[in-house]
Amino acid sequence: MSSSPDSVALVHEWFSPWAVGGAEAVVRELDQLLAPHQLYALVDGESRRPESWLAGRSVTTSFIQRLPWGVRRVQIYLPLLPMAVEQLDLSGHGLVVSSSHLVAKGVLTGPDQLHVSYVHSPPRYAWDQMNVYLHRNALARGPLGPWIRCQLHQLRQWDHLSAQRVDVLVANSRFTARRIWRCWRRRSVVIHPPVAVERFHWQQSREDFYLCLGRLVAYKRVDLVVEAFNRCRLPLLVVGDGPEWGRLRRQAGPTVRMVGRRSSRQVEDLLARCRALVHAGVEDFGIAPVEAMAAGAPVIALGQGGLLDSVRCHSRDPSTATGLLFDRPCPRVLAEAVRHFEDQRLWQQLPAERLRRQAERFSAQRFRTRMKTRLDESWRRFQAGDLRAPQVP
């Protein structure tokens, strides 16, 4: 950065081998972009693992690190996390960059510090997805229900308050930017997260199976995909694990195979060969669909959320299409979309080279370039004293 600050802090919620996804990919890129800097997190379960990218690194943690099961199951201490992140001492750092999907943006900074927060999402279970989470949570349906709702009410209050302390908000998609405005009444700029498109080979022939990929959690709506393929009686591989595994396994019909977690190399191979990736959840951005396009695979997905930033629908403009979007989270509607994709042989009408070019718009290099520009501009404006000038939403 031009006229760089003397000291930089990078804050993330937690570093854990059990939590590896798009947020962690962002942190790894920021780690390279901001060097040298000091790392902060609520808990750190990575720096002592020799195989980790954080092996041997110094990470300043909160008191949650010392609590029973704090590292492995940090979420059980949800009521304490806002207080814990506020106890991190960031004094002495001119620039603070946080990567936040829950509380990292809530760190305390002073008037001589610039805080830029990359927001993956306002916490879904405290805002618009609260009732969905409560409905699927057995504890929330029992005697503890009123207490859990009270805790989420308090989290919403703190979440809104802490968002006002951030100087610059960066959203990972236009959808997240709208959620930030809805929840916090703050404007943000959109910089899409990095996707390692270079990992994927995109010139293989498509085979006769469809793929559903990701963590098996409720909001991913893998149940809709499984039910749709039960109706279509077309071959589907479901890759991933999570709390929904047992229910989905019982739901799966004869053409649906639950194959569990697979290595990165195995996932790359499946994406390179599948007829299409099928996705039914509302994502804040959606890494997997971009990875599919990087591997030359079309995407069949719900036309909502952050995925609208990356996937172009065949029914709207066949000349630029990279997939097929359906309009309602309903097994019947998804089944109709899959049958249309199959009957029209759309995988043959969506050139792999076009899909790859679209995916390259979300490369790690593009993320680094845009993020560096935003940090440079924010630091210049901070030094000039006009940081709170209106930003483009």
CA distances, 4 to each of 93, 94, 323, 389 (Å): 11, 9, 42, 21
Could you write out the DSSP letters of every residue in 187-201?
--EE-PPPB-GGG--
pLDDT for residue 392 is more than 70? no
For the chain, the average pLDDT equals 93
Q: Which of 2, 93, 82, 125 is nearest to 377 (CA)?
A: 2
pLDDT digits (tens, 9 = 90+) for 89-123: 999 999 999 999 999 999 999 999 999 999 999 99
Helix (H, G, I), strand (E, B) or coil at 226: helix
pLDDT for residue 389 is more than 90? no
Q: Taking a C-beta distance cutoff of 8 angstroms, is the pair 122, 183 a contact?
A: yes
Q: Show the domain range for 294.
A: 197-360
pLDDT for residue 329 is more than 80? yes
* Residue 55 maps to a domain: yes
130: confidence class by pLDDT, cuts 50, 70, 90: confident
Q: State the pLDDT at residue 138.
A: 73
* Residue 393 maps to a domain: no
Q: State the pLDDT at residue 388.
A: 62
CA distance 104 to 58: 18
* Across 320-347, average pLDDT: 97
Q: What is the CATH number of the domain that holds 225?
A: 3.40.50.2000
pLDDT for residue 325 is more than 50? yes
pLDDT for residue 393 is more than 50? no
* Across 337-348, average pLDDT: 96
* Across 216-243, average pLDDT: 95
pLDDT for residue 313 is more than 50? yes
Tell me, yes or no, whether 135 and 256 share the same domain: no
Tell me, yes or no, whether 190 and 62 share the same domain: yes
Tell me, yes or no, whether 220 and 323 share the same domain: yes
Tell me, yes or no, whether 177 and 296 share the same domain: no
Work out how many domains the chain is built from and give that number: 2
2: confidence class by pLDDT, cuts 50, 70, 90: very low
Tell me, yes or no, whether 90 and 36 share the same domain: yes
Tell me, yes or no, whether 105 and 142 share the same domain: yes
pLDDT for residue 310 is more than 70? yes
* Across 149-153, average pLDDT: 91
The 8-class DSSP code of residue 90 comes to -
* Residue 304 maps to a domain: yes
pLDDT for residue 357 is more than 80? yes
pLDDT digits (tens, 9 = 90+) for 134-144: 777 777 778 88
Tell me, yes or no, whether 42 and 148 share the same domain: yes
* Across 372-377, average pLDDT: 96
* Residue 26 maps to a domain: yes
Tell me, yes or no, whether 202 and 338 share the same domain: yes
Omega before 254 cis (within 30°)?
no
Tell me, yes or no, whether 310 and 375 share the same domain: no
Tell me, yes or no, whether 302 and 245 share the same domain: yes
b/e 114-140 (16+ beta carbons within 10 angstroms → b): bbbbbbbbbbbbbbebbeebbeeeeeb
pLDDT for residue 87 is more than 60? yes
pLDDT for residue 20 is more than 90? no
* Residue 186 maps to a domain: yes
Q: What is the CATH number of the domain that holds 169?
A: 3.40.50
Q: State the pLDDT at residue 116.
A: 98
Tell me, yes or no, whether 22 and 143 share the same domain: yes
Q: State the pLDDT at residue 167.
A: 97
* Residue 56 maps to a domain: yes
Q: State the pLDDT at residue 141.
A: 79
* Residue 377 maps to a domain: yes
Percent of the chain with pLDDT over 70: 98
DSSP alpha helices (H): ranges in 139-221? 145-163, 174-184
Give the pairing type, strands 210-213 and 236-239.
parallel
Label each residue of 245-266 as H, E or C.
Answer: HHHHHHHCCCCEEEEECCCHHH
pLDDT for residue 189 is more than 70? yes
* Across 140-154, average pLDDT: 86
CA distances, 347 to each of 237, 293, 316 (Å): 17, 12, 16
* Residue 2 maps to a domain: no
Tell me, yes or no, whether 154 and 232 share the same domain: no
Total-model pTM: 0.92
Label each residue of 292-324 as H, E or C.
Answer: HHHCCCCEEEECCHHHHHCCCECCCCCCCCCEE
- Ranges 31-40, 130-139, 261-270: which has the least confidence: 130-139
Q: Taking a C-beta distance cutoff of 8 angstroms, is the pair 92, 40 a contact?
A: no
CA distance 249 to 252: 5
CA distance 267 to 232: 24
